[in-house]
Amino acid sequence: MKPTRLLSVTLAVLFLALPSMAQAQTAEDLARFEELVSEAQHHFEEGRYPRAIEVFKQAERIFAHPSLSQRILQASVAMGRCALAEERLESLQGATLPDAMTARLGEWAELVDGCESRGQVVVECIPATASLEVDGEPRECGEPFEMPTGSTQGRLRAEGYERTTVAIAVQEGETTEITVALDPLPPSAAERFVREGPAQPVGLVIAGTGVGLMVAGVWVDRDSADRQIRLERALRDDDEELVQELEAESRTRRRQSVGFFISGATLAGAGVGLFLLGRQFATPAGDLALHPRHDGFTVELRF
């Protein structure tokens, strides 16, 4: 016979044998009592202690047998509800018990003495992507977890937000629910410049400078066609000195031209980008956030 069924039948037999419980001596009460004890014992064995205590108490309303108090005591210790465990121990110590249960009172007293008072904590984080640590242990935002009763601290952090510390008071047998909203980091100098500074005119100036450099790159080598003609004539005339002079000049002008053109293109692109950012965020149609990182920052555009 399974332990659950054995406990149920044993209590039911004792229930029928006690004249003081005559008001519960109906077939319906007996069937309900057996059902509740079986269900409660199943929850107990599966570690669902809150539900086990609740169902054991329902069974007690039909027949308050000491074995039910024993099970409630054990479940309370497992949950960290030490006050309830002490209450049940005192009830057992003051009751008339069978010899087998009396012999175990010392064992149950030691169990209660070693009880660690605990409660549950749920921390809701804003933003939900924040990471949470409580007493140095990582925890999941929005998920319940057990802690010893008393005061402790939780630390939250998220990219783009200020780190936050929150005080947590854990109550025995209760669930402490806390909602923590992290403050965004203050805007960086780059973000303030885009939002509040002259981003558009500065962007135009930079882009104009870039275009000017690109034009200079073309202008500095403007006589390349004429130089090529002179070089071909010098080659036909076997004028080695002039050939060397023209080739050196050609290389120099080419380097200058490429340098001006690349620098100008880079500045022009940067200027246009800055101008477009300033134009976009000069109106409330969009929003900009620059999030600092260990290796720079990321740009978040919100519309």
Q: Which two tokens stand for residue 73?
A: 């005591």
What class, spelled out in words, does domain 118-181 have in CATH? mainly beta
Instruction: Give the CA distances from residue 18 to residues 12, 26, 33, in Å, rounded to whole numbers and listed in that order.
Output: 10, 13, 15
Q: Which two tokens stand for residue 52?
A: 């086990």
Chain length of the chain: 303
The pLDDT score that the predictor gives to residue 231 is 72
The pLDDT score that the predictor gives to residue 281 is 58
The CA-CA-CA angle for residues 220, 225, 230, to 5°, reads 110
CA 93 to chain centre: 47
DSSP H helical ranges for the chain: 3-17, 27-45, 49-60, 66-79, 82-93, 99-102, 105-113, 189-196, 199-219, 224-236, 240-280
The pLDDT score that the predictor gives to residue 198 is 64
The pLDDT score that the predictor gives to residue 4 is 44
Q: Which two tokens stand for residue 55?
A: 């169902």
H/E stretch holding 154 = strand 150-157
Beta carbons of 55 and 36 less than 8 angstroms apart: yes
* pTM of the complete model: 0.49
- Residue 118's contacts (CB-CB under 8 Å, 6 or more residues apart) are 79, 80, 81, 146, 147, 148, 149, 170, 172
Q: Which two tokens stand for residue 15?
A: 């229930």
Dihedral sign for Cα 233, 238, 241, 243, please.
positive
Peptide bond into 127 cis (omega under 30): yes
Boundaries of every domain in the chain:
3-113, 118-181, 189-302
The pLDDT score that the predictor gives to residue 191 is 61
CA 147 to chain centre: 18
Residue whose entry in the numeric block shows the structure tokens 């990182």: 293
Q: Which residues of 65-82 are buried (b: 16+ CB within 10 A; e: fewer)?
A: bbbbbbbbbbbbbbbbbb
Task: Specify the 3-state DSSP secondary structure of 212.
Answer: helix
**Separation of alpha carbons 149 and 154, rounded Å:** 14
Task: Specify the 3-state DSSP secondary structure of 22.
Answer: helix
Ordered mean pLDDT values, 10 residues apiece, the chain (303 residues): 43 45 65 90 91 92 87 90 90 86 89 90 92 91 89 90 91 88 77 57 74 75 74 77 78 79 80 67 48 49 45
